[in-house]
Structure 1
Amino acid sequence: MKALVAAIVTQPGRPRGRGNKSIALPSLVAEQALSLGFSEDQILSPAKATEAAFLSQLSSIQPDLCVTAAYGNILPQKFLDIPKHGTLNIHPSLLPKYRGASPVQRALQDGAEETGVSVAFTVRAMDAGPVLAQERVAVGEAVQAPELLDNLFRRGIELLIRHLPSVFDGSAQQQATPQDDAAVSHAAKIEKSEGQLDFTQSARVLHNKVRAFAEWPGTTAMFHLEAAAGEREKDMVVKIIRTCVAEQTEPETIASTGSLQREVCVTRDRLLVPCAGGGLLDILDLQPPGKKPMHAGAFINGLKGRRLYVRS
């Protein structure tokens, strides 16, 4: 069996660049499609999937099957009625867990030790259709959202391809399993404000947040740097890129200093932040304001012996 991709549907292009240099460019999906030899006529970019012109164009193609992945647009029934064998969605969770916009991020934030990918038929409810196939995936302690998301979508594509014969012979609809509504959990859209780290939380909670929000919105912490000779003390918002959890073995090195609250334990190449519950967040990679991302050791060299604190 040979499946032919007749068209690509993607979000419209958005301006890139700054100020007067900002220009509208095709989406990254459209750019990839063009590089693979698809013509511009085969790339459909409606602002909304409800647009009459788009639905008419899709209908004229007469697709046997539509496949979606992270499209971010609710599909109307008029869309779902067009493909002969329905629409399948590749969703990076073990449905009915983590239905919604941010399944991978929320699973990492929750500290899930296992997740997976589902191929499910699309219905007029968020990620609620019958599941044709699933694959379980163990979640590593250090894996971050972009890496896990890429892994799950690659596995999802392979899963979809393996089940295409049953889709085209009409048996997939009967094989698909309805979801258990009693087991549903939701993965809410991420807000930018969630990226601020609060060190009154446990090191495990903060480490999971760093992993979950690695791509967007990122995680930040407010550091306070003591003054060097002839300089003023200063606060700085630092982007936290990669962390791990360490046990607190030297509690006497952790000081409480009133409003500053927590002194960072600085060794030759480690930044250890005391957190609630006695754990330490070991900051491995970070990005100070106006600087490029760097390892903790490079940042420590720039401290020149000055003490560092975090505000909680």
Structure 2
Amino acid sequence: MVFLQSDNRKKVVFLGTPHVAALALKILLEHESQLKIVLVVSQPPARSTRNGSETPSPVHELALSHGIPVLTPQTAKDQEFINDLKILQPDLCITAAYGNYLPKDFLSIPKYGTLNIHPSLLPLYRGAAPVQRCLENGDSITGVSLLLSVAAMDAGPLVAQEKFDLNHEIKAPDLLNVLFEKGAHLLVKSLPKYFLNPQQIVEQDHSKATKADKIKPEEGILNFSLPALALHNKVRAFAGWPGTKSSFSLNGDIVDLKIIATQVSPNSFHLEKGEILFTQNALCVCCGDNEILEILEMQLPGKKAVSAKDFQNGVKGKCFKLNK
């Protein structure tokens, strides 16, 4: 007689879409002895306007490579999707940068609720762009929060948090990777205690809540009348998307120069506000506070990104100045 070993692992549905969510899913899959991911949910594949082909999200691709079924509803309100989830009866849902609003019908299904990995120290930076907004504000500390999802955005009680010290060089894409990886490890560490006592959670101090609004493309335009540090923080915050740029004049033609890497100059230059100067390794711009922003890497439209030194060689002999 053959005795089948029962599977006592909790049934988990994972919801996520971009690369950072795939990083979190990869870590959870490394702990299959504790969790059984029975379904992955992601946003629908992106359709190419050129040939109509579809590209699945990074989370979708990772799930398929592990033989995990994937659903891609247009919204989490889709009734067929809700019905499928009810039939599945998951113990827990986990969300990481899923990108769709979760209705009450969804939240009521999993036995242990839905836990979200959120890259900020809640109640700070609730919303779509917590990492970008904390870098834009020049924060010296951030972190990741695990919270129980409720109908209000990022307002649910906390399961765990972990702090992370920031330097003034890290950019948003790198920080997102760090925080989602930390969040996934924190989740694995916290789940045994959570399953034993799901009520042992801490309500957020809603009076201290701040918002992290979605980024608009026009926010990436740099205005050199602002302080140099504020501009440097914008470059870090909006790296990846939407990027940062400013308008320059090249032989009388107006060009938008993409600004990729900067630093506030440790040196002193005698420049007037709005003046520029090439040094050996930087394009220096005097900002609104009379501090110098050094542009270290940039990109002209249709060209590849280059160092300031290579850019200077490319425009040598041409009239190049800030477009005021």
Q: Is the TM-score greater than 0.5?
A: yes
How far does the alpha carbon of each residue in 1:35-66 deviate from its partner, in whole angstroms, 9 at most, with x for none?
2332xxx1011101011100011111110000
Aligned to 2:257: 238
Matched, 1:179 2:204: yes
| 194, 207, 213: which one aligns with 2:219 | 194
Return the match for 1:4 from 28, 31, 36: 36
2:153 is paired with a residue whose SS is coil
Which residue identity does 1:27 align to in structure 2? Answer: S
Is the Cα contact below 8 Å between 2:272 and 2:290 reproduced in 1?
no
290-299 or 242-251, larger mean C-alpha shift: 242-251
Give the deviation of 1:80 after TM superposition.
0.8
- 2:320 aligned to 300, 308, 311, which one? 308
- Whether the 8 Å CA contact 1:264–1:308 is kept in 2: the answer is no
Map of 1:36 onto structure 2: 66
Offset of residue 210 of structure 1 = 0.5
Cα displacement (A) at 1:249: 1.5
Q: Provide the residue aligned with 2:3 in structure 1.
A: none
State the shift of 1:197 in Å. Answer: 0.4
Rounded Cα–Cα distance in structure 1 between residues aligned with 2:199 and 2:155: 14
Alignment correspondent of 2:249: 224
CA distance in 1 between counterparts of 2:265 and 2:143 reads 28
Q: How many residues align?
A: 292
SS in 2 for 1:6: strand
Q: CA deviation at 1:166?
A: 1.8
Percent of residue pairs bearing the same amino acid type:
45
> Residue 168 of structure 2 aligns with which residue?
141
- Which residue is 1:259 aligned to? none
Q: Which amino acid aligns with 2:46?
A: R
2:56 corresponding residue in structure 1: 26
Listed as ranges, the matches of 1:1-312 within 5 Å are 2-16=34-48, 18-19=49-50, 21-38=51-68, 42-169=69-196, 171-174=197-200, 176-225=201-250, 227=251, 233-247=252-266, 249-251=268-270, 254=271, 262-312=274-324
CA distance in 2 between partners of 1:148 and 1:212 (Å): 10
Query: Deviation of residue 268 (structure 1)?
Result: 2.6
Aligned amino acid, residue 215 of structure 1: G
In the TM superposition, what is the alpha-carbon distance from 1:250 to its structure 2 partner? 2.3
Mapped to 2, the partners of 1:274 and 1:303 lie a distance apart of: 20
**1:274 partner amino acid:** C
Unaligned 5+ residue runs, structure 1?
228-232, 257-261
Alignment partners' CA distance in 2, 1:255 and 1:184: 40
Q: Is the 8 A contact 1:263 1:308 kept in 2?
A: no
Contact 2:269/2:292 (CA < 8 Å) preserved in 1?
no
Unaligned 5+ segments in structure 2 are 1-32
Q: How high is the TM-score relative to the length of structure 2?
A: 0.87
Partner of 2:12: none
SS at match of 1:49: coil
2:159–2:194 Cα contact (<8 Å) kept: no
User: 4+ residue runs of structure 1 moved beyond 3 angstroms?
Assistant: none
- Kept in 2, the 8 Å contact 1:248–1:278? The answer is no
Query: Cα distance, 1:263 vs. partner?
Result: 2.9
Q: Deviations over 1:72-103 (max 9, x none)?
A: 21111111111011110000000000000000
Deviation at 1:167, TM superposition (A): 2.5
State the match for 2:5 in structure 1: none
Q: Which residue of 1 aligns with 2:24?
A: none
The residue matched to 1:153 in structure 2 has which SS? helix
CA contact (8 A) 1:248 1:279 kept: no
Partner-residue secondary structure (3-state), 2:223: coil
Query: CA offsets per residue over residues 120-142 of structure 1, 9 Å max, x none?
Result: 00011000000010000011110
1:255 and 1:124 mapped to 2: Cα distance? 52
Offset of residue 182 of structure 1: 0.9
TM-fit CA distance, 1:25: 2.4
* 1:99–1:187 contact (8 Å) kept in structure 2: yes
